[in-house]
Amino acid sequence: MAIREILKDGDETLRKKCREVTEFNPRLWQLLDDMAETMYAADGAGLAGPQVGILRQVVVIDAGEGLIELMNPTILSTSGMQEGAEGCLSFPGEYGIVRRPMKVRVKAQNRNGEWFEAEGEGLLARAFCHEIDHLSGRLFKDLAVRMLQPRELEDEE
Ligand code: ZN
């Protein structure tokens, strides 16, 4: 495993649309292992392919309920609403208030290409939405109701 460089604000790769994953092979598994290690090292709750320069529909998430790997994910249904502070490993130190569904049901393939469905609530629902947005070049700042000021961040800690 290896830690990969996380692309930051302004890198145009973050704005590109990702292609589907079609090959579920050791090269993909290496990428997934690296992405998980990179996410944990950066203390993040999720990481998407474009953030490490890979324009494929690949996402890793750990919102405190264990590691989830998603290939070619789509959102099947959503319900409810939550509004809260959200950040991104590509925008270190920046947080915005973003509205997301409270519950999200997704469909995706695992690292062996098998389809599965998963449901997330709260932080996990937020992570599903945030990371799946990355795959079409959408960033949390696009959706933020407003960005938090540094002083507000200190208050939250
Ligand atoms: Zn992000």
User: In this structure, is residue 70 part of a structural domain?
Assistant: yes
The H or E element that residue 132 is part of is helix 123-134
Is pLDDT at 143 greater than 90 in this prediction? yes
Q: Are 128 and 119 in contact (CB under 8 A)?
A: no
pLDDT at 18 over 80: yes
Rounded to two decimals, what is the model's pTM?
0.95
Is 1 contained in some domain?
no
pLDDT of residue 150: 75
Q: What is the pLDDT of residue 149?
A: 83
Q: What is the pLDDT of residues 34-68, one digit of tens each?
A: 999 999 999 999 999 999 999 999 999 999 999 99
Pure H helices in 42-78: none
Q: Which domain holds residue 129?
A: 12-156
By three-state DSSP, how is residue 148 classified? Answer: coil
For residue 155, how far is its CA from the centre of ligand 1 (angstroms)? 23
CA distance 57 to 156: 33
Residue 3 within a domain: no
Whether residue 131 lies in the annotated active site: yes
Report the separation in Å between the CA atom of 24 and the middle of ligand 1, taken as the mean of its atom positions. 24
From the list 117, 131, 154, 156, the catalytic residue is 131
